Every structure is written in structure tokens, then in C-alpha cells.
Structure 1
């Protein structure tokens, strides 16, 4: 969405130090150069750990990007910024020696980066795209001026800077700038001023805007990564301390809990008789193989004693349905609602690619993080629920209003019936959580759908969005769009006519 003007204008400079407008050396395309200078300070972990570099492994100093509290005797507790010597890089847990305490133990490899590499900088977000950069920066924890630097999606070896700005109408937007490389290794946004390092570039633009939408403020807040040992699959109930009851549903309760008093998790307790342990474990073992940023991660289970517990990552804003009805959720404007839809479509596109089916896609089964990121929950569980009130289409618990006609009538659940449900979910978004088909009973909805009836356009719903919704409700499942296509449509809903990057002087 465009922005007519920023609240803070760039500072004009007639001339600056290091002005190289007449003699700038631009970097060459790496594909055209046979020279490959190996600089250990800029290599990624995957690059420094190849066989031919193994001898120098123990000479490498790595720094912790996050703090971590050990949950096993074999692990190390450490703080963000602590430095380590790597002793063994086998698997996802590396054996390391702390250079401050001298202790040795296992640490999660993805908490580390080479000391002084760009990967260890607070402002650097390595493998994210433009859309995710906007999502991170527009999170409530950040303010105008918040920024991040990421790898360019289009120019090999270059970077992009994304900056949160405030328009004159009070809306928050994100502006993007290309950071180009010089042949000698320097960097620039405007060719009139260059910098030896990205740190120098950031420091300069934190003091003056000089062509940017505003001065840089604090680095974008990074999401906290909860690390989980994959060996901890079937855990004991005694390792969980229930802290706060978050809600109750048809089949059990949801709690915020602490695992081993160190890791915050969500625990879903299933009422006895909801499903058999064998059926649940079969589905859960498949569910845990599905890992994507838009899917709630399944950490562990408790099945040895009733009731069954499902342990997942904790999402502080709860279900999308509850969030939309809350005071903060009611303030969310259409662009962010569309982004929520795009995020959900992205997660479903992954499920689609894996030839999996959700079966119960609705706002109640989408969770929202502190930074307003959406993740899909409870995928696959509907298949193993044995409650007759749920499994029978006339049952009181069966989600008739979200379910495609072919799934209601013939039990034909496919990714295309999930797409029908996604269209209903869009109506939940635009109405801030209202029940679909307001005023109609389940029986009335079923009867009308058979006659070709479709939900009318909700109030305040743009015609363009309603057209997307109705495409999900085609009578023939094969005529409904794919989630991959839906993701692209929703991500481009506002950006199709915008320039990709801000122009520089």
C-alpha cells in the first residue's frame, strides 16, 4: 500500500565524507568471476564446516545469538553473546567449550554464528523475504525507524534494508532499499556515499536520514526461538507445570505450561474417549514431520496416562478467532487482515505440497503470535476424533458451516474441501470473528448450499476480496484454486502496482 509522504523527511547533504560519485567501483557479478576468496569471518556455518575446513574447526570462535537454559545434564546453559570453541559438529546439537566458563557440553547449532560475521548482528535477518520483513517490522514491539537488513532476493551477494515508517495519515508502512556492494568489498545505498562495513552504514543512517524515509532507530526485534530436543517426544506429565488455563473446547482444555521449568509451551489436554492412543500416535507421528514457519510446531506428546496431552509451541495471542474479537484485534485494519489470510494460505500451500489435508480449517484453529504471525494448528486431528457428535454430519459438534458440500454429503475430504473452508475463514476475518451464515441453522445452510446458495458479501468486504471468497466455493472441487495460487493472490493484493524499492539520489 502506497504512502504519500513520511512524517520525517531525509536530511539534505550537498557533500558528504567519502563521496565517491565520480569514482565508484561497482561490484562484479560473482558468476563472471573465477576468483573465490575464502574469508572465514564472512562464511556461514554450513560453509566453514565442510570436510576441507575440519582442521580449522577448533580454531573457529562462534558466538551465541540467543540465550539458552539446559534441560539435560549433557547440555550447556549460556547467554546471548557468549563465545564457544566447537569440539564436535555431529547432528543438531554440537559439542562446544565455553570460552568464559571453560565448561563443555551440547548446544543447539542454530543458536550460533561465526564471531563477527554479519549473521551475528542484531539487525541481520538472514533467510527472510520481503513480505516477512514487513511482517516482522510491523509487529507491535517495533516503532517507526525500526529496521533490518536481509539478503537480496534478486541480486546475488547484495543486501536489502527494510525500514518501518509512518505516513502522514498515521498508518505504518515499510520502505525497502537496495544495499549494493563495491568491488573492494564496501557497501552503499546511494552511490554518493560508501561504507567499508554494514556496521558503518547502519551507524551513519542512525545519525541522519540522507535520502532514507527517516533515520534508523533500533534493530527489528527478533522472534524468540524455542529449541526442543527431538528425542523428547513421549514425555512424562511430571515434566510439565501447568501455569494458566487458556481456554476449553469441545474435546479438552488448552493450558500455558512450563516444560522442565525452562521452556514455555502450550498443552492441549484431550478428554478421555476423544480418540484412541494408537490412532492419535499414528497421526501425531505424521504431523511432527510437517515443519513450516506457518504451522504450529508439535513438540511432544503424553500418551502413557490419560488424558492425552499434546505439547506445542506457545502462541501468546491465542486463537485467531479470539484475537479478532479482542480489543487489539478489533483495531486491525484490512491490510493486516489480508496479510493474515496470506500467511494462512502460505501454511496451507505447504500442507498441499505435502499431499496432506487439514479437515478442520477455521479461525479457531489458527493461532497468533506476539508479533502477529499466524500459524495453523490441529491439522489432521479431525481424522482421528471418534466423538459421534463430531464425526456424524448431523452431530452438534460437526463444523457444518465451514465444511464443503462434498465432505458433508459423501465424506470426501480433500485439499479442495480445505479450500472451501478457507473461503469461510476469510469471512471470519472480514467480520472480526462472526459466525458464518448469520441467522441460519446448520440444516438450513446444508439445504441452501444444495440449491446453489452462497454466503452473501459481508458488510465492509471489498468486492475484490469477495470474489476471492466465492472462488473457494465453486461447486466442482477441481475448479477451486490451489493454495499456492491463493497465497500469491493475497500477498499481491496491495503490492501489485507498487515499486519494489525506494529510489535513491
Structure 2
């Protein structure tokens, strides 16, 4: 282990996975590396390390914090800290405060960019089926203490599952004059080179771009822009490549064709059934972060066309992976290789790889540094609809890339302000946001060019586009998509101001993406910008917006609850029997939307948590995403 960062003998507490399990405390030899924490049995007399007892992959860590000692704690267990990951808290006891601080600081530095770090934690121990700090009896219950958003040790909580970005600092009070939000933070350029493998072909668009060929290796030279990395190919040619088209060599599952990143259960079933091969399979991320699921189509059952089965990949206490209890493997690729030859308890062995790698993801812009688009490169094909700003058309850029083109009606927008912000908005990239590609500002009307999504507006999709009655999993997946897109915006200090089903789009695979974020700030129509106006989104607005026009991320939370209601009513109009004046009056007095027939009590409780009178009592989008993911995991 040449990359050992820290090494120490600690007391480790048993994890007490069952309420009836007795607690025990044993000395273990702990080793921290760049990738994991491992702990071993050891011979105290000879001072030698013995057998491996367990590991925790650092990429799965959600929180590292101190733990308050229990009453009458012996001296050797006074300096406790916790590493929280998928399987719960790992409690470790240091011999001194200095050693504990050293390990916590190093761990926090290593996991600071993890995708599912928590905002709340339990400061006390989990003992005999209860949290001593808050008396909750569910081990997975949300923490009861907010983590300090401190960066003095290079650590900040981040939102769950989407991208590795830091949480926002305390939101700044908006001043008059519609100021621009801060530019999204960029990670420092890395001095160390990194080898990556291309997952997709990429054809250069500008002279600064570098061509990518699928499965070939490239050396990364610079990462100052999170979306476009400077790279060198095997012939020595250098240029910029989209960072989401490559994966680090020798690491991760992305290099395997059977791995489908960012695919949910419904999309997996749709893809497997479209391939229609007995034993067709893929591996995808589970709805619970850090977990993986094998989705498999078997035609041996009575169901027409076969049935899809979903098997969660489990881990042992020693960090090994398994689908069948008796067959454990050190890595997921080893597990998949075994089950390609042996069913071992599954309905079928894994016979045919089914991949979704054909369609590359959207890039942040249509080439490195491209944000001003020449309108002569655009071909208009058909009108998609019209909105607050004007007509939206489907078209092609340079005759080959599908795009949506929003033609801004003159006088409808504060154009100069928007053009300045567009440069920042282009750097926002998330799987659940509609990607802004660029703008055409050299002529009037100006154009906004974005990613094109084949299934159109979510509201229309709910009313007309679903080919069959949606399952509870499908509806919850839609809500999950929106919560994760909004969690990313929240992390970048963006306020949407007009979140609703009409402002979300659906791609060809059924993924929902948020669009038009922040655009309402540039509307020049008084009917739209004043809460007294008929165009104002009264039905999606909380009391503080209706009464005082006070927008914040918490007003977006309220709107998200209403959007969930739209999803579970398949596109009904909120408060359909009331006019705007009646809604302002009755919502301010406590009226709330009823529980939709398709929503169970747990789903409705998430909606109602968004509709608290006091904005500070509403959850964050990170917490909402966490809660929706947990419900999805229960359904699967």
C-alpha cells in the first residue's frame, strides 16, 4: 500500500445492525488511503497487522464528524468520531483529541467532492434501536443537527447524487436592479495529468477542440473549466474535449458496455423490452446513492414479451459484492462475469449486454468557448409552441445537431441583462437541466439555443404523452428528476421563480429536465412580474410571494410541492375551482391542495412538507431528493 495517508490503532465499535445485537469494542489497525478506509485484526505483542476485517470506499462516505461521548464513558472512548456511509455509521475511538482531529480533517479533505454528502447528522450514538440525540427509532432517519457549512478544512456538504459540486453559501439578499448571481465556482486546474478513455465519439466544432474516438485513451492536461478539459491524444495533438464524454482509465464502471449511468428503473425496462432478448441485462445506479442494480429481461415466465427483474447488488461487511448469498466477489465486474455464466438464484443468467451508449450526452455549449452562435448555422424545421417570450422552434445546428430555438419577441425581455447572464448559465450542466447551448445576439430578434427534448413539455406529456397508465415508480422517478435538477440549481444559488410542469421537458428516454430557470427575472410584462397580474404563477406561489413578492430557494420548494401534485394528478390545474384572487386569500389563510388519488400518504407528506407557512421550515432540495430516493428504493 504505497499510497497510505494515515495509519493508526483505534478502538472500533460493532455496527449493531440488529437491535438485539450486543455491542462490542475491539482494537483494530486502521489504514487510510486515497480510495478507502480499511481496518485489520492485529497482533498486539508483535505489532503486526493480520487479517482484513472490513473496508469503506471513500466515494460512498456521506459524512465525517465527531460523536458526543455517552454518560460515564471510559477515558479510552472519550474521543469518538463517525464515518457515515451506505450501511450506516462506523464509530471509531481515537486515543487523543489531536489524533481524532487529524483523521477527521484528512477524511473530510478526501471526500469533500462526494456526490451525496449530508447537511444534517446525528451528534450522538445509535444504541439499541434508538438515536440518543433525538430518540428517533429508524437508523436511516434524517440527522437532527445541521452541519456547519465551513470550508476551513476544505470541506463543505454537497447535495445528494447529482454532481460533485459544493453546497451554496448562505443566500445573499437580492438588491434592487436584478443583480446577476455569482458565477458557478470552478475547480482549480490540476497539475497532475490523468489518463481517460472516451465513451463517445466527438467531432471538433472549433479549431480549439480535439477529436474523440470511442474507447481510445487521452491524457488530460488541464481541468480549469469543469465542462471542457484540455487533452492530448496518442499522436500528440492537443485541444479541448467535453468532460462528460470521457471516464478515468482503470477506474469506475463507465468503461463497461453493460453499465448504464443515470438510468432509472422505467427506462431500463423500456430499453430491455425494446431489445427483446432473453437474458438481456444492464447494470444501473440504484435510486439509493452508492448502490447498483442489475436489470434483467427473462422470457421464461407467462407474461407476454417476458418480464423484467431487478436485483440489488449487495455488499458484505468486508466490502465484497454479491447477488446470490453464497457467491461473493471483490469487484462488480467480477460479479457480472460470474453471472454471465451462472444464474445462481436469478431467473436467468446474464446472456446479452444491452447498452444505452448510442446517444451521447449534451455538452455545455456546442464547442469550447462557443456561446455566440451564428444564426446562419441554424436550420428551422418546425414550430414546437409559443410562450412568454415568443415562438420556440425545433431545428438543426450546422445541419446535424438537434436544437430548440427560442425566438425572443422584441420588448418581452430585458435583453442586455440576460445576454450577460447567458455566459454564466451555459456553464451550468446537470443531467436534469435543459442545457443552454448559446445565444444569437447580433440581430433582432435574439435567439436562445438549447438542447432539444423529443417528448416536449412535462405538462402535455402527463396529459397526453403517456402511452399507458403510469406506475407509481414512473411518477416518483419524474419527481426525483426534478428534485435533483433543482438541488443542483440550489447549490449554484439559482432561484427558478417559475417552477411548474409547464417549465419542465421530457427527453426521448422519459427523463425529466428543468428549463427556463431564472428567465422570469428578465420579463418586462407587468402582468407577469406583479403578483396582481393575471399571468403571474399564483397557483405555484407561497404566501410570502403572493403577499410580498419575496422570492427565495424556499419559494421554489413550495412550487416543487405543487409540481409533484401536478405529476400525481396527471396534469390537473391546481385549485381549479378558484380564481387568482380567491387563491391568494385562501392559501394565505392555510388552504392546501388535497391528496391526489395516485399519491400514497408518504408521497403526500413530501408535498405537504413543501407547503409550510414558514419558509425556514421547508426542506432543502437536497433533502427532498434524499426523501424521494428513499421512497423509490422502497418501491424497488
Same fold (TM over 0.5): yes
CA distance in 2, matches of 1:441, 1:203: 61
Q: 1:350 to 1:105 in 2, by over 3 A?
A: closer
Corresponding residue of 1:375 = 513
Residue 555 of structure 2: which of 414, 417, 427 is its match?
Answer: 417
Corresponding residue of 2:312 = 176
Q: Deviations over 1:386-433 (max 9, x none)?
A: 112211223232221112222122111112221221121122111111
Corresponding residue of 2:64 = none
Is contact 2:384-2:392 (8 Å) kept? yes
Residue 407 of structure 1: which of 545, 552, 557 is its match?
Answer: 545
Displacement of 1:447 after TM fit?
A: 2.8
Displacement of 1:469 after TM fit?
A: 2.3
- Pick which of 267-276 and 108-117 moved more: 108-117
CA distance in 1, matches of 2:600, 2:55: 46
Corresponding residue of 1:142 = 272
Corresponding residue of 2:256 = 121
Residue 339 of structure 1: which of 477, 491, 494 is its match?
Answer: 477
Q: 1:497 to 1:113 in 2, by over 3 A?
A: closer
Is contact 2:220-2:229 (8 Å) kept? no
Q: 1:254 to 1:497 in 2, by over 3 A?
A: closer
Is contact 2:55-2:318 (8 Å) kept? no
Q: Deviations over 1:28-57 (max 9, x none)?
A: 75789xxxxxxxxxxxxxxxx9867x6xx8
Q: Give matches, 1:83-482, under 5 Å.
A: 83=216, 86=219, 92-94=228-230, 96-97=232-233, 107-108=241-242, 110-112=244-246, 119-124=254-259, 132=262, 134-135=264-265, 138=268, 140-143=270-273, 145-148=280-283, 160=292, 162-164=294-296, 172=308, 174-178=310-314, 202-216=336-350, 217-222=352-357, 224-227=360-363, 228=365, 229-328=367-466, 331-482=469-620
Displacement of 1:72 after TM fit?
A: 2.9
Q: Deviations over 1:226-264 (max 9, x none)?
A: 334241012221122223322212321222222222322
Is contact 1:94-1:107 (8 Å) kept? yes
Displacement of 1:493 after TM fit?
A: 2.0
CA distance in 2, matches of 1:310, 1:97: 33
CA distance in 1, matches of 2:591, 2:325: 60
CA distance in 1, matches of 2:608, 2:316: 44
Q: 1:27 to 1:262 in 2, by over 3 A?
A: farther
Q: 1:448 to 1:161 in 2, by over 3 A?
A: closer
CA distance in 1, matches of 2:570, 2:286: 36
Is contact 1:148-1:220 (8 Å) kept? no
Is contact 2:371-2:437 (8 Å) kept? yes
Q: Which has the higher strand share?
A: 2
CA distance in 2, matches of 1:195, 1:485: 33
User: What is the TM-score of this pair, normalised by structure 2?
Assistant: 0.60
CA distance in 2, matches of 1:355, 1:197: 38
Displacement of 1:351 after TM fit?
A: 2.5
Is contact 1:161-1:179 (8 Å) kept? no
Displacement of 1:180 after TM fit?
A: 7.9
Corresponding residue of 1:18 = none
Identify which of structures 1 and 2 has the higher relative contact order when contacts are C-alpha pairs closer than 8 Å and 6+ apart.
1
Q: 1:206 to 1:399 in 2, by over 3 A?
A: same
Corresponding residue of 1:65 = 199
Is contact 1:145-1:215 (8 Å) kept? no
3-state SS of 2:448 partner:
strand
CA distance in 1, matches of 2:362, 2:493: 27
3-state SS of 2:353 partner:
coil
Q: Which has the higher helix share?
A: 1
3-state SS of 1:344 partner:
helix
Unaligned runs of at least 5 residues, structure 2: 1-50, 58-188, 274-278
Unaligned runs of at least 5 residues, structure 1: 1-25, 33-48, 499-505
3-state SS of 2:340 partner:
helix
CA distance in 1, matches of 2:287, 2:316: 10
Q: 1:165 to 1:388 in 2, by over 3 A?
A: same
Q: Give matches, 1:26-41, under 5 Å.
A: none
CA distance in 1, matches of 2:287, 2:498: 37
CA distance in 1, matches of 2:461, 2:478: 12
CA distance in 2, matches of 1:414, 1:207: 54
Name the count of aligned residue pairs. Answer: 439
3-state SS of 1:493 partner:
helix
3-state SS of 2:633 partner:
coil
Q: 1:175 to 1:253 in 2, by over 3 A?
A: farther
CA distance in 1, matches of 2:588, 2:490: 27
Q: 1:475 to 1:115 in 2, by over 3 A?
A: closer
